[in-house]
């Protein structure tokens, strides 16, 4: 695209860069503070002296956390959950979104299905009946409870069906003429052409699974089966017990509850923070559409 | 009919896994909604607990503060919905104007970070930076010669503080879906427009925005369902007796009732009320979108 | 933050604090020793262990004669039985290799010696225990026996899900257990009794009674800088607060200190509380007290509160209270203490670690803990935390309803009756591994004054120098305190707990001067209380905060009382008195 050299454009560009950079800085500050706190000394953090740079620099919090078997164990549970959960999520999302993206004339009964799904976004029976259901299925204390209960994400389905609709109809018509079935059309045309939206939804699924902590506590019968966020939640809330613990006395001399907490939160967020830049490269692939001349 | 089935059976089959999922984990537990009309007793179970009709709803409506609480909830939630649409869409469009890919990616990544911090953490930071005496924000305000503002302690400002701090946390993450929508726009349209001599603003108005419209309408419709969700975690971590008047919302209200006596019936009744309101509003906006924009969002 | 909910939260935190106070003592000891000698002290003090128990035992009961126990109290089951329960755990619980809550020294002992196999249906982190328990209860999945709080107890009784333990307790509880549970004057058992039937066994904690009172923490180096005496009266205290705020007590030439530390939820525990301040005016917020006519009345609506609020409003006006206190949670107050901005605050016996931060950041910072002060000639009496907050209950229809009582018998016997002067105590903290096996037990109850007794034993030793009667714990603590006197500053925190001018000295003072005031209504919430009290307490916090900040006049209090009574207060008071009279 040719750039417009006119000065209003230049002014706009400068202002735009400035604005977005300021926004970005505003967003990064709390994380920088968290990082600084995790690398500071107990007393400095407890007195609120740490802003953006560590005071009394030390690595103790990280050594302490990484030496704890709970951290790595729950990280393992989380990874397993993500691997299973995201695959199940995305499969169901694609399979349901595709037929629902069709016109009512092409898929009789779609309206009924759509509302069956949308209704579940709005109504729920609450925790107790859900717990009883999971229990009667024998899924308590199993990783499948964490994978299957959130398996159908209607929000993602609705978004994807809108993206599917945005694809040119001509592609499908041409494929039908060539004798391709619906399964083939879905996997060979729709899915490859939707990489940006699929990447977006994969990110949403990853984040959902990564961040949810309550189901871990609800469905798991032992802390040894907790995913990372459930474990972290108990640490963040239960700081009283950590700081006043009569165990690890020597370590607690060096790290306060707050430096350890900061390090836990930072370590806990880090993996998911790294996912986005990786997925970003799929966001520019929309160009493939350009090859489809009408 | 048979003809339909012959060509359309793959569609039905594709829906099956999702359908089974919602039937088991959504519809079956939905039987629990009956608790809203019961004095639920665990030892008697869902179908043998005493029925008390609308008493749970009446109980909530009889609480002296409830109308104030409802008003706060709707006011905060509606502002959040509006700001939550405008800001991410604007930022997505502005990001689209950034020519250098490296910059674009860095900014995208950085603005998405606050989404991952919990309100427990952020509340501590906000108390510091919003402090009238020492906070950064008020330093700027005072620098401009204006009187300091007690953002977290003043009933006039508190709802706005909630809305803007929430937006600060979430706008980066919400932007992603609009960016994906922009990426999905056929580049040949821009090429054609450029040939026609359209400038960037005209391209944005005539191609980018229309291309995003389905997603914008969809997000707007879905967010309207949140009109009674003002954000429990955020409010709970930021409010204080000073701002109960403007900050107490439906969810904190239910939470408080539940603390002395876990009243499943009341909590379920409030939940049901919220669901019904959401359903009505979403149905209305669905219909409006169809009638005026001729677009079925789902 | 909303009053009721946070109170609940902090209430549970307070319980945790009580539980772990022993641990605090331990880490203080341990912290201050760089050699291995630290650990025995840690272990002994921490567990309130057997080494301490002879004293505790001696003071607690005359002589628990084994013969007083019926043959049933410790009888072995043959064939063995299995009972189910649920457990909470936390980051501080450490296990020897191969052990867990499912299999440890206790479960092995129960199984081999008593024929009881204990099975845990689930284990959850202590922060989520009650949430998970509520789901379990609501889905009708109650285990054979379980630990519950007062509200859960009431709900379970109402739902008729619990076994009547009246006869079982009388028949199976050991003499020692009965004696221990009567130390609170029967409050616990009474709270567990509904309609004349006892449905639960109360759990008592090692830091009960006087240890739950509020006290004054003050920076003595600031007092010295300003030539002020230690506050002995409310007038002193107010003068000190004003001076700390305005006369630059840290002498840094800047107006950057506050007078009295107050947080936004000031009727709760932790630094920044105002309970102790209110108590100085003979006002007792949020608990039920006897009024002039002998009936129970809600403390927050009594006229003494108004006087205290007027004093607070005056403090606020004069700048002695932070203008922004209304949005600052207790954690911020702790931060400001650590940063040297606050030198005067009311708090709880276990808050010393906060002041240790202050001392670490600024070695000049010296703190002392004082008893609360009175606004008039009458002595100030602190209000105390309820003793009966945790209970063990048995599911209705459980096959062996007496098993829980027997498990508790065994716990008490192993911990407090067995003489460990001749053999090693396997339950208190192990010096090298830091494992405290006592915590693994599924049913626990400890004597209320355990840590206070430890303090006394240490002080007696320091005074008399006669260590023939002293416990191992006392010996080590005394040794460390001597080190502190000789200039070892690493013992600073320990000194602020059990040394001169320390928090336990204040507890001891309270205990010897008539104790404190308990909530006179220690039963479960009445119907109107459950319905209306949350809203009324919200109103209370709103009004009191406004009055202190001068946004409302002190007379607004009268309007609050009228509203409070009209909107449910009268009904609640009537119910409370009816329930109490019926229980008499």
Does the pLDDT at position A227 exceed 70?
A: yes
Closest-CA residue in chain C for B59? Answer: C531
For the ranges A230-239, B117-126, C562-571, the one whose mean pLDDT is highest? C562-571
| Domain co-membership, C205 together with C262 | no
On chain A, the residues whose CB falls within 8 A of the CB of B168 are 26-27
Does the pLDDT at position A253 exceed 70?
A: no
- Evaluate whether A45 touches A259 at the Cβ level (below 8 Å): yes
On chain C, the residues whose CB falls within 8 A of the CB of A252 are 27, 31
Q: Is residue C270 part of a domain?
A: yes
Q: Do C91 and A233 touch (CB under 8 A)?
A: no
- Better-scored residue on pLDDT, A261 or B89: B89
pLDDT of residue A97: 96
pLDDT band at C353 (very low <50, low <70, confident <90, very high): confident
- Better-scored residue on pLDDT, C540 or B298: C540
Does the pLDDT at position B16 exceed 70?
A: yes
On chain B, the residues whose CB falls within 8 A of the CB of A203 are 176
Q: Is residue C415 part of a domain?
A: yes
pLDDT of residue C422: 66
Spell C252-280 as b/e; 16+ CB within 10 A means b. eeeeebbbbbbbbbbbbbbbbbbbbbbbb
Does the pLDDT at position A8 exceed 60?
A: yes
| Domain co-membership, C164 together with C287 | no
Q: Is residue C253 part of a domain?
A: yes
A contact test, residue of B4, B11, B41, B140 with most A CBs within 10 A: B11
Distance from CA of B70 to the nearest CA of C (A): 15
pLDDT band at C95 (very low <50, low <70, confident <90, very high): confident
Of A102, A132, A289, the CB nearest to B187: A289
On chain B, the residues whose CB falls within 8 A of the CB of A168 are 186
CA distance C476 to C469: 14
For the ranges C272-276, C357-361, C414-418, the one whose mean pLDDT is highest? C272-276
pLDDT of residue C584: 67
The mean pLDDT of A21-42, rounded to a whole number, is 89
Residue C217 DSSP SS3: strand
- Better-scored residue on pLDDT, A55 or C92: A55
Of B31, B118, B267, the CB nearest to A125: B31
pLDDT of residue A294: 36
Distance from CA of C292 to the nearest CA of B (A): 29
The mean pLDDT of B126-144, rounded to a whole number, is 89
- Better-scored residue on pLDDT, C249 or C439: C249
- Evaluate whether C29 touches C478 at the Cβ level (below 8 Å): no
Does the pLDDT at position A128 exceed 90?
A: no
CA distance B222 to C455: 62
CA distance A267 to A277: 17
Contact residues, chain B to chain C, C-beta under 8 Å? 40-45, 59, 63-65, 124, 127, 131-133, 150, 152-153, 236-237, 239-242, 244-245, 248, 252, 255-257, 259-264
Cα atoms in the Cβ-side hemisphere of radius 13 Å centred on C336: 26
Does the pLDDT at position C30 exceed 70?
A: no
| Domain co-membership, C120 together with C199 | yes
Residue B154 DSSP SS3: coil
pLDDT of residue B19: 96
Q: Do C20 and A238 touch (CB under 8 A)?
A: no
Which range marks the domain in which residue C289 is found? 214-383+526-583
Name the domain boundary from C405, C421, C440: C440
Does the pLDDT at position C352 exceed 90?
A: no
| Domain co-membership, C407 together with C376 | no
Of A47, A128, A249, the CB nearest to C30: A249
| Domain co-membership, C150 together with C272 | no
pLDDT band at C263 (very low <50, low <70, confident <90, very high): very high
Give start and end residues of each alpha helix (H) in C184-281.
187-191, 220-225, 234-246, 275-280
Distance from CA of B242 to the nearest CA of A (A): 24
Check CB contact of C128 with chain A, cutoff 8 Å: yes
B contact test, residue of A8, A13, A22, A27 with most B CBs within 10 A: A27
- Mean pLDDT across chain A, nearest whole number? 83
- Evaluate whether B25 touches A148 at the Cβ level (below 8 Å): yes
Angle (deg, nearest 10), helices B119-129 and A228-237: 50
pLDDT band at C494 (very low <50, low <70, confident <90, very high): confident
Q: Do A249 and C128 touch (CB under 8 A)?
A: no
Of A24, A121, A126, the CB nearest to B32: A126
Distance from CA of A247 to the nearest CA of B (A): 26
The mean pLDDT of B99-119, rounded to a whole number, is 88
Closest CA to C281 of C310, C320, C241, C322: C310
CA distance C41 to C26: 7
Q: Do C334 and A217 touch (CB under 8 A)?
A: no
Q: Is residue C451 part of a domain?
A: no
- Better-scored residue on pLDDT, C448 or A191: A191
The mean pLDDT of B167-177, rounded to a whole number, is 93
Q: Which residues contact C477 (CB under 8 A, 6 or more apart)?
A: C29, C41, C45, C454, C458, C494, C498
CA distance C499 to C488: 13
pLDDT of residue A167: 85
On chain A, the residues whose CB falls within 8 A of the CB of B8 are 106-108
Q: Do C354 and A46 touch (CB under 8 A)?
A: yes
Q: Do C4 and B133 touch (CB under 8 A)?
A: no
Ordered by start, the domain boundaries in chain B are: 68-115+155-293
Instruction: Show the domains of chain A with their CATH numbers.
Output: 69-241 (1.10.3720.10)
Does the pLDDT at position B155 exceed 60?
A: yes
Backbone angles phi, psi at A215, to 5 degrees: -65, -30
- Evaluate whether C231 touches C243 at the Cβ level (below 8 Å): no
On chain A, the residues whose CB falls within 8 A of the CB of B113 are 27-28, 31, 273
| Domain co-membership, C189 together with C249 | no
Q: Which residues contact A61 (CB under 8 A, 6 or more apart)?
A: A38, A39, A255, A259, A260, A262, A263
- Mean pLDDT across chain C, nearest whole number? 83
The mean pLDDT of B171-183, rounded to a whole number, is 91
A14-28, C307-321, C457-471: least confidently modelled range: C457-471
- Better-scored residue on pLDDT, C583 or C120: C120
ipTM score for this prediction: 0.88
- Evaluate whether C493 touches C356 at the Cβ level (below 8 Å): yes
Does the pLDDT at position B203 exceed 50?
A: yes
- Evaluate whether C132 touches C97 at the Cβ level (below 8 Å): no
Closest-CA residue in chain A for B194? Answer: A1
Does the pLDDT at position C97 exceed 90?
A: no
Closest CA to B249 of B219, B215, B226: B226
Q: CA torsion sign, C123 to C125 to C126 to C127?
A: negative
pLDDT of residue A173: 84
Q: Residue C483 belongs to what H/E stretch?
A: helix C472-485
CA distance C259 to C249: 10
Cβ-based contacts under 8 A for chains A and C: 123
Closest-CA residue in chain A for B108? Answer: A24
- How many Cβ atoms from other residues are within 10 Å of residue B244's Cβ? 24
Does the pLDDT at position C370 exceed 80?
A: yes
| Domain co-membership, C543 together with C576 | yes
Q: Do A199 and B180 touch (CB under 8 A)?
A: yes
Of A48, A221, A246, the CB nearest to C23: A246
- Mean pLDDT across chain B, nearest whole number? 89
- How many Cβ atoms from other residues are within 10 Å of residue B132's Cβ? 20
Instruction: State pLDDT tens for residues C288-320.
Output: 999 888 899 999 999 999 999 999 999 999 999
pLDDT of residue A109: 86
Cα angle B147, B151, B152; round to 5: 145
- Evaluate whether C561 touches C277 at the Cβ level (below 8 Å): no
Spell B209-235 as b/e; 16+ CB within 10 A means b. eebbebbbbbbbbbbbbbbbbbbeebb
pLDDT band at C69 (very low <50, low <70, confident <90, very high): low
Instruction: State pLDDT tens for residues A134-182.
Output: 999 999 999 999 999 999 999 999 999 999 988 888 888 888 888 888 8
- Better-scored residue on pLDDT, B248 or C138: B248
Question: Is residue B68 classed exposed, middle or buried when 0-12, 13-18 and 19+ CB atoms within 10 A define those classes?
Answer: middle
Of B15, B110, B183, the CB nearest to A286: B183
Give DSSP secondary structure letters for A6-32. SHHHHHHHHHHHHHHHHHHHHHHHHHH
List C-alpha distances in Å: B256 to B263, C411, C555, C557.
10, 37, 28, 23
Distance from CA of C103 to the nearest CA of B (A): 31
Give the total number of structural domains in chain C. Answer: 2
Q: Do B255 and C151 touch (CB under 8 A)?
A: no
A204-218, B242-256, C266-280, C419-433: least confidently modelled range: C419-433
Q: Do B42 and C525 touch (CB under 8 A)?
A: no
The mean pLDDT of C88-96, rounded to a whole number, is 78
pLDDT of residue C26: 36
pLDDT band at C22 (very low <50, low <70, confident <90, very high): very low
Closest CA to C369 of C530, C496, C541: C496
| Domain co-membership, C227 together with C88 | no
The mean pLDDT of A62-68, rounded to a whole number, is 82
- How many Cβ atoms from other residues are within 10 Å of residue C226's Cβ? 15
Beta bridge partners of C217: C345, C369
What CATH number does residue C236 fall under? Answer: 3.40.190.10
Q: Which fold has domain B68-115+155-293?
A: MetI-like fold (1.10.3720)
Instruction: State pLDDT tens for residues B215-255.
Output: 999 999 999 989 999 999 899 889 988 999 999 999 888 88
Q: Is residue C421 part of a domain?
A: yes
CA distance A15 to A74: 45
Q: Do B268 and A157 touch (CB under 8 A)?
A: no
- How many Cβ atoms from other residues are within 10 Å of residue C426's Cβ? 15
| Domain co-membership, C170 together with C314 | no
Backbone angles phi, psi at C260, to 5 degrees: -100, 125
- Evaluate whether B8 touches A106 at the Cβ level (below 8 Å): yes
B11-25, C143-157, C457-471: least confidently modelled range: C457-471
Q: Do B260 and C529 touch (CB under 8 A)?
A: yes
Q: Do C20 and A131 touch (CB under 8 A)?
A: no
Give DSSP secondary structure letters for chain A. -PPP-SHHHHHHHHHHHHHHHHHHHHHHHHHHHHHHHHTS-HHHHHTT--SSS-SS---HHHHHHHT-HHHHHHHHHHHHHHHHHHHHHHHHHHHHHHHHTS-TTTSTTHHHHHHHHHHHHH----HHHHHHHHHHTT-TTSHHHHHHTT---HHHHHHHHHHHHHS-HHHHHHHHHTT--HHHHIIIIIHHHTHHHHHHHHHHHHHHHHH--HHHHHH-SSGGG--HHHHHHHHHHTHHHHHT-SSSHHHHHH--HHHHHHHHHHHHHHHHHHHHHHHHGGGGGGGGGGG---
| Domain co-membership, C345 together with C411 | no
Distance from CA of A72 to the nearest CA of B (A): 20
- How many Cβ atoms from other residues are within 10 Å of residue C310's Cβ? 17
Instruction: State pLDDT tens for residues C212-222.
Output: 899 999 999 99
pLDDT of residue B24: 95
Closest CA to C33 of C500, C481, C499: C481
Distance from CA of A44 to the nearest CA of C (A): 7
Check CB contact of C2 with chain A, cutoff 8 Å: no
Q: Is residue C530 part of a domain?
A: yes
CA distance A164 to C419: 77
Q: Do C567 and B244 touch (CB under 8 A)?
A: no
Does the pLDDT at position C20 exceed 70?
A: no
Q: Do B252 and C139 touch (CB under 8 A)?
A: no
List C-alpha distances in Å: B77 to B170, C169, C259.
14, 54, 39
pLDDT band at A220 (very low <50, low <70, confident <90, very high): very high
Check CB contact of B254 with chain A, cutoff 8 Å: no
Does the pLDDT at position C376 exceed 90?
A: yes
Closest-CA residue in chain C for A238? Answer: C127
Q: Residue C300 belongs to what H/E stretch?
A: none
Instruction: State pLDDT tens for residues B273-297.
Output: 999 999 999 999 999 988 887 788 8
Contact residues, chain A to chain C, C-beta under 8 Å? 42-44, 46-49, 127-128, 131-132, 135, 141, 217-218, 221-223, 233-235, 237-238, 240-250, 252-253, 256
Q: Is residue C159 part of a domain?
A: yes
Spell C520-534 as b/e; 16+ CB within 10 A means b. bbbbbbbebbbbbbb
């Amino acid at each position: 695209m040719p750039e417009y050299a006119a000065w209003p454009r230049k002014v706009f560009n400068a202002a735009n860069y400035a604005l977005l950079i300021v926004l970005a800085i505003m967003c990064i500050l709390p994380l920088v503070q968290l990082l600084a706190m995790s690398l500071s000394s107990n007393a400095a953090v407890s007195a609120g002296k740490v802003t953006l740079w560590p005071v009394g620099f030390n690595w103790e919090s990280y050594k302490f956390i990484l030496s704890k078997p709970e951290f790595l164990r729950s990280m393992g549970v989380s990874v397993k959950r993500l691997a299973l959960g995201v695959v199940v999520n995305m499969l169901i999302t694609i399979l349901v979104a595709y037929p629902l993206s069709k016109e009512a004339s092409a898929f009789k009964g779609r309206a009924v299905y759509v509302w069956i799904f949308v209704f579940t976004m709005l109504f729920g029976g609450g925790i107790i009946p859900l717990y009883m259901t999971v229990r009667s299925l024998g899924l308590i204390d199993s990783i499948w409870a964490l994978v299957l209960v959130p398996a159908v994400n209607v929000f993602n389905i609705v978004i994807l069906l809108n993206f599917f609709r945005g694809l040119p109809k001509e592609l499908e018509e041409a494929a039908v003429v060539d004798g391709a079935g619906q399964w083939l059309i879905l996997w060979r045309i729709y899915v490859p052409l939707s990489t940006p939206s699929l990447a977006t939804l994969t990110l949403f699924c990853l984040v959902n699974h990564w961040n949810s902590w309550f189901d871990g506590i609800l469905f798991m019968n032992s802390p040894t089966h907790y995913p990372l966020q459930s474990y972290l939640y108990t640490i963040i809330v239960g700081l009283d017990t950590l700081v006043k613990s009569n165990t690890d006395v020597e370590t607690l001399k060096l790290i306060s509850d707050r430096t350890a907490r900061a390090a836990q939160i930072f370590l806990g967020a880090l993996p998911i923070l790294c996912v986005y830049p990786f997925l970003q490269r799929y966001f520019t692939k929309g160009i493939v559409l350009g090859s489809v001349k009408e | 009919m048979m003809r339909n089935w012959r060509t359309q059976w793959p569609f039905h089959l594709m829906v099956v896994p999702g359908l089974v999922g919602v039937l088991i984990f959504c519809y079956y537990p939905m039987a629990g909604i009956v608790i809203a009309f019961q004095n639920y007793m665990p030892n008697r179970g869902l179908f043998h607990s005493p029925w008390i009709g609308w008493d749970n709803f009446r109980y909530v409506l009889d609480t002296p503060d409830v109308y104030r609480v409802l008003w706060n909830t709707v006011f905060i939630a509606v502002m959040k919905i509006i700001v939550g649409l405008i800001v991410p869409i604007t930022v997505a469009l502005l990001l689209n104007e950034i020519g250098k890919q490296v910059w674009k990616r860095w900014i995208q990544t950085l603005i998405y970070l606050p989404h991952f911090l919990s309100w427990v953490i952020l509340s501590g930071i906000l108390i510091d930076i919003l402090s009238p005496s020492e906070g950064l924000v008020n330093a700027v305000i005072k620098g401009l010669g204006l009187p300091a503002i007690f953002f977290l302690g003043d009933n006039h400002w508190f709802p706005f503080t909630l809305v803007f701090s929430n937006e600060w946390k979430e706008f980066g993450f919400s932007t992603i879906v609009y960016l994906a929508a922009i990426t999905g726009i056929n580049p040949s349209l821009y090429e054609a427009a450029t040939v026609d001599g359209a400038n960037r603003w005209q391209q944005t108005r005539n191609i980018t925005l229309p291309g995003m419209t389905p997603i914008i309408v969809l997000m707007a419709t879905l967010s309207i369902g949140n009109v009674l969700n003002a954000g429990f975690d955020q409010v709970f971590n930021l409010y204080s007796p000073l701002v109960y008047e403007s900050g107490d919302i439906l969810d904190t209200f239910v939470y408080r009732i539940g603390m002395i006596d876990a009243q499943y019936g009341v909590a379920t009744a409030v939940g049901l009320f919220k669901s019904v309101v959401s359903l009505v509003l979403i149905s209305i906006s669905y219909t409006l979108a169809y009638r005026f924009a001729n677009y079925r969002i789902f | 933050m909303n009053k009721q909910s946070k109170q609940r939260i902090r209430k549970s935190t307070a319980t945790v604090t009580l539980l772990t106070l022993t641990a605090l003592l331990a880490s203080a000891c341990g912290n201050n020793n760089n050699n291995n000698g630290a650990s025995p002290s840690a272990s002994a003090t921490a567990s309130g262990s057997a080494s301490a128990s002879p004293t505790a035992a001696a003071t607690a009961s005359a002589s628990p004669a084994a013969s007083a126990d019926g043959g049933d109290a410790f009888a072995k089951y043959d064939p063995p039985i299995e009972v189910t329960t649920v457990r909470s755990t936390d980051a501080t619980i450490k296990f020897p290799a191969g052990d867990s809550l499912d299999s440890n020294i206790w479960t092995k002992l129960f199984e081999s010696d008593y024929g009881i196999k204990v099975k845990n249906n689930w284990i959850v982190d202590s922060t989520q225990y009650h949430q998970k328990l509520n789901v379990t209860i609501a889905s009708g999945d109650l285990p054979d026996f379980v630990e519950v709080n007062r509200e859960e107890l009431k709900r379970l009784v109402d739902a008729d899900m619990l076994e009547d333990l009246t006869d079982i307790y009388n028949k199976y509880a050991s003499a020692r257990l009965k004696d221990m549970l009567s130390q609170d004057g029967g409050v616990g058992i009474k709270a567990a009794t509904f309609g004349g039937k006892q449905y639960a066994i109360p759990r008592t904690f090692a830091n009960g009674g006087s240890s739950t009172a509020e006290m004054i923490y003050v920076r003595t180096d600031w007092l010295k800088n300003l030539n002020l005496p230690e506050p002995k009266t409310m007038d002193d205290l107010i003068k000190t607060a004003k001076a700390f705020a305005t006369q630059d007590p840290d002498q840094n030439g800047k107006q950057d200190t506050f007078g009295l530390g107050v947080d936004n939820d000031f009727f709760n525990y932790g630094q920044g509380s105002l309970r102790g301040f209110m108590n100085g005016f003979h006002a007792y917020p949020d608990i039920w007290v006897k009024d002039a006519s002998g009936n129970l009345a809600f403390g927050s609506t009594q006229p003494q509160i108004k006087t205290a609020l007027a004093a607070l409003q005056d403090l606020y006006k004069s700048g002695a209270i932070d203008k922004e206190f209304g949005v600052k949670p207790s954690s911020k107050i702790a931060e400001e203490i650590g940063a040297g901005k606050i030198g005067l605050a009311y708090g709880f016996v276990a808050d010393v670690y906060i002041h240790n931060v202050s001392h670490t950041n600024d070695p000049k910072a010296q703190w002392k803990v004082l008893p609360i002060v009175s606004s008039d000639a009458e002595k100030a009496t602190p209000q105390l935390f309820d003793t009966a907050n945790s209970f063990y209950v048995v599911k209705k229809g459980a096959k062996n309803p007496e098993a829980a009582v027997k498990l508790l018998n065994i716990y008490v016997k192993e911990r407090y009756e067995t003489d460990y002067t001749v053999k090693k105590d396997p339950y208190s903290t192990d010096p090298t591994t830091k494992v405290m096996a006592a915590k693994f037990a599924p049913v626990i109850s400890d004597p209320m004054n355990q840590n206070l007794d430890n303090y006394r034993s240490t002080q007696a030793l320091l005074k008399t120098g006669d260590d023939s009667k002293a416990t191992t714990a006392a010996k080590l603590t005394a040794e460390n305190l001597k080190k502190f006197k000789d200039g070892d500053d690493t013992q600073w925190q320990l000194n602020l707990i059990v040394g001169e001018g320390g928090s336990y000295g204040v507890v001891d003072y309270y205990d010897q001067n008539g104790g404190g005031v308990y909530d006179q209504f220690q039963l479960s919430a009445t119907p109107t209380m459950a319905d209306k009290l949350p809203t009324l307490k919200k109103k209370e916090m709103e009004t009191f905060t406004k009055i202190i900040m001068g946004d409302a006049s002190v007379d607004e209090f009268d309007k609050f009382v009228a509203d409070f009574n009209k909107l449910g207060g009268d009904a609640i008071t009537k119910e409370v008195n009816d329930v109490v009279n019926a229980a008499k």
